[in-house]
Structure formats: structure tokens, C-alpha cells
Amino acid sequence: MAARGQGQLQDFDFFVVVDFEATCVKDARIFPQEIIEFPAVLVDGATGRMESAFRRYVRPKHHPLLTQFCRELTGIRQEDVDGGVDLGEALWLHDDWLKEATAGAGNKRSVRLAVVTWGDWDCRTMLEFECRFKGIEKPSYFDQWINLRVPFQAAFGGGGRVNLQEAVRAAGLDWEGRLHCGLDDALNTARLLVAIMRRGVKITITGSLAPPLSAPILQQPQPHMSSYGGYSGTCLCYCGLANRGGVMQGKCFSGCANWGPAMGAQFGWSN
Ligand code: AMP
Ligand code: MG
Ligand code: MG
């Protein structure tokens, strides 16, 4: 049975709002990019109440020293990541937190929850890429998500591509905290989610790692490619970046610019 949200019956008992921060450099790509902050905010699907928050800093393995640009962008200090956990542990800790925070949800055997992010990058690209690259298993609830941009447009309109801060303000809310601090981004995304729920919009899954039935069948995995194409049939290079020029007759045929033969040894399949 659907839960009565603020203004709309929602299909989920809880929304888990996530916003990853990752290693970065100015005006260039870093490879492999790694998650350095793993925050989540739990929102009750029936009441719109923020129930609990989670955060772990994550120690990057390949580029352990954060660039000055990254520290200034995210507000994350070198000592934060030096004292952080690895991604696998962060996923376990997050899962433990989630189980405990949702344990009081009646006497249901299973809780219906959905991950919410601003955009598709967090689940489709960043987490998926890093887990594949490092051979880390992640909970299946990260394999589908709600890109809040979609219900935001339904609730507040606006044709342009607004960023999270602009969207929060367009919803009549003040921005709280520091932009690009993962936990503050997640909290503001959660506040925006609640504002959208109050507008009477039904919040539904917008993205998934599973290709739709009509998607092209991609060829057997090559060392530099991922094994699925995403909704649009777009190839993803194993570096996690969309490889738009790489689909022909339903098959991936090339890696993206990040990949070169010399990097072959860095790639491998985790499944
Ligand atoms: P966000 O959730 O918008 O704070 O961004 C997530 C991640 O994207 C950041 O932790 C960075 O790794 C990357 N990122 C965001 N903005 C920039 C930028 N202007 N230049 C380089 N990387 C960025
Ligand atoms: Mg983000
Ligand atoms: Mg952020």
C-alpha cells in the first residue's frame, strides 16, 4: 500500500538522499576518480521528516593526496580522508546505519526505499565505476535511483539546466551550509525533495543500471568497457564515462579518451 506523503501518496517508506564528493583536479579529468565523502540523509516517505543522517570520509587509494582545488571545492581536509575508511567499508557502514535507522518502520518484513540524488552521476557513473574498478560489491538499492531533477521539473518547471543550489532557491528555500560539502548538498537535496513532495508530486524511480528490454544487446565485456549500456544505449567506458561515439549496431566498439592501450593493466572485470 502506498504511504501518505505530504500531499501525495508515495510508493516508498523511505528516501535515502546521497551526494558523493570525489577526487578532482581543476579543468581536467582525474583517473581513476574516487569517492572521498559518502553522506546520506534519510527522509520518511509518509511524513517528509528527516529521520537521520550518515557521513563517512573515504580514503582514496590511487590519488591519496587531495589537490588544493579539491580541498577548496569540497571543504574536505587532507586529514579527513587520511582518517577515512575505504569505499567497501563505507558501503557496509552505510548499510548498517540504514538498517538501524529504518528498523522502527512498523513490523514490516521489508522496507521500501529509494535512493535520491541530484542528477545521475552519483549512482550511474561514480559509485558504479569505482565499485567495478575495485571489485567492490554494493547493495542493490544503489542500482536504481531517483534523479530529483525530474520531479523538480514537474513541481517547479523551468526548462533550463539549473544546478542544485538554484533549484533549492527556485523552490523558495534558502540554501543551508556549504555548496559541495557532501553532507550539506545531501541535506539541501533532502529539503528540496520534501518541498517537491509537498507540491503533490509522486516521486518515482528515474534511472537504473539495468538496460530496458528494448536496449541494444552489448557485446561481451572487453577490458576497457562496461557490460551494460544504460537507458540510452550509450556505452560506458570502464572509466565510467559515457562513450557516446562508441555504439554501432547495438555494440560498443571503443573506449573513451581516458583509455589507451598502455592503461590495459589497470582495467579488469570484477564479475
Ligand atoms: P557536487 O556534488 O556538485 O559537489 O560534485 C561532486 C563531485 O564532482 C565533486 O566532489 C568533484 O569531484 C566533482 N566536481 C564538482 N564540481 C567540479 C568542478 N567545478 N571542477 C571539477 N570537479 C568538480
Ligand atoms: Mg552532487
Ligand atoms: Mg556535492
Q: What average pLDDT does range 7-26 have in this prediction? A: 94
- Beta strands 144-147 and 113-117: pairing type? parallel
DSSP-derived letter for residue 171 is T
DSSP-derived letter for residue 148 is T
- On the question of pLDDT at 258 being above 60, the answer is no
* pTM, rounded to two decimals: 0.81
pLDDT of res. 211: 66
* Residues having CB within 6 Å of any atom of ligand 1: 19, 21-22, 24, 73-74, 180, 185
- On the question of pLDDT at 83 being above 90, the answer is yes
Residues contacting 239, CB < 8 A, separation 6+: 31, 32, 129, 224, 255, 256, 258, 259
Domains along the chain with CATH numbers: 14-227 (3.30.420.10), 229-271 (no CATH)
**When comparing pLDDT for 224 and 192, which is higher?**
192
User: Which three-class secondary structure state does DSSP give residue 94?
Assistant: helix
H helices present in the chain, as ranges: 68-74, 78-82, 87-102, 128-134, 149-156, 164-170, 182-198
Q: Lowest-confidence range among 16-30, 208-222, 228-242?
A: 228-242
> How many C-alpha atoms does 120 have within 13 Å on its Cβ side?
16
> What's the gap in Å between 220 CA and the centre of ligand 2?
32
Name the residue with the closest Cα to ligand 1, atom 20: 26
| Residues above pLDDT 90, as percent of the chain | 70
- Residue 2 · residue 10 · CB < 8 Å: yes
What is the distance between the alpha carbons of residues 231 and 253, in angstroms, rounded to a whole number?
18
- On the question of pLDDT at 91 being above 80, the answer is yes
> What's the gap in Å between 224 CA and the centre of ligand 3?
28
Ligand nearest to the CA of 73: 1
- Please give the positions annotated as active site: 21, 180
- On the question of pLDDT at 248 being above 90, the answer is no
| Residues above pLDDT 70, as percent of the chain | 73
> What's the gap in Å between 180 CA and the centre of ligand 2?
7
